[in-house]
Amino acid sequence: MNTQIYPSTDLLVIQRKIQETPWLIACLCAAWCGTCKSYQDDFEQLQTAHQDKCFAWIDIEDHADLVDDLDIENFPTILIEYQNKVLFLGTMLPDTSLVHRLIQSYESDLQRIGIKQMTRTIQNSDYPLATDWSLRKAIENITK
């Protein structure tokens, strides 16, 4: 499986990649954010430990149409989806070991209880996210 990180400018490549895996791990960032710039290399390296997942780097200003429903105020904001279900959406410290452990925890929970029993962790209390919202679906619906 290809271990390349998929930049936000190549959404059609991300669209093809998510057809190969139920996992989407995205960093929602902004080009002007210094923290995001310094975090990007580490995020790319994290993908080598999870080659069976699609990793995406999405600039929220370049692709506002994909994330309009989200209230992103801080960076990096991490999104973890399995199939079309958001498992986690929130700001994290720029430490990929935290994301790595979170992914491992979700993998374990999925094996133990299954996707239907999984609960969502969404860290945007001011603007509730619709139950059926999915970045994966938004990317899949991009016109080729």
Q: Determine contact, residues 104/56, Cβ cutoff 8 Å.
A: no
- pLDDT digit string, tens, across residues 14-39: 998 999 999 999 999 999 999 999 99
Q: Is 121 helix (H, G, I), strand (E, B) or coil?
A: strand
**1 inside domain:** no
pLDDT at residue number 3? 47
CATH number at 96 reads 3.40.30.10
Q: Is residue 144 part of a domain?
A: no
Predicted confidence pLDDT, tens digits, the chain (144 residues): 454 555 445 888 899 899 999 999 999 999 999 999 999 989 989 998 999 999 999 999 998 889 887 878 889 999 999 999 999 999 999 999 999 999 999 999 999 999 999 988 887 656 677 888 999 999 999 875
pTM: 0.90
Cα 116 to Cα 44: distance, rounded to the nearest angstrom: 30
CA distances from residue 22 to 6, 36, 122, 126, 128 in whole angstroms, order as listed: 16, 25, 19, 29, 24
In a domain, 106, yes or no: yes
**Domain coverage including residue 64:** 6-139
The tally of domains found in the chain comes to 1
Domain-embedded: residue 31: yes
Residue 62 covered by a domain: yes
| Structure tokens given for 35 | 């923290």
Q: What span, in angstroms and rounded, lies between the C-alpha atoms of 14 and 137? A: 12
Radius of gyration, CA atoms only, the chain: 14
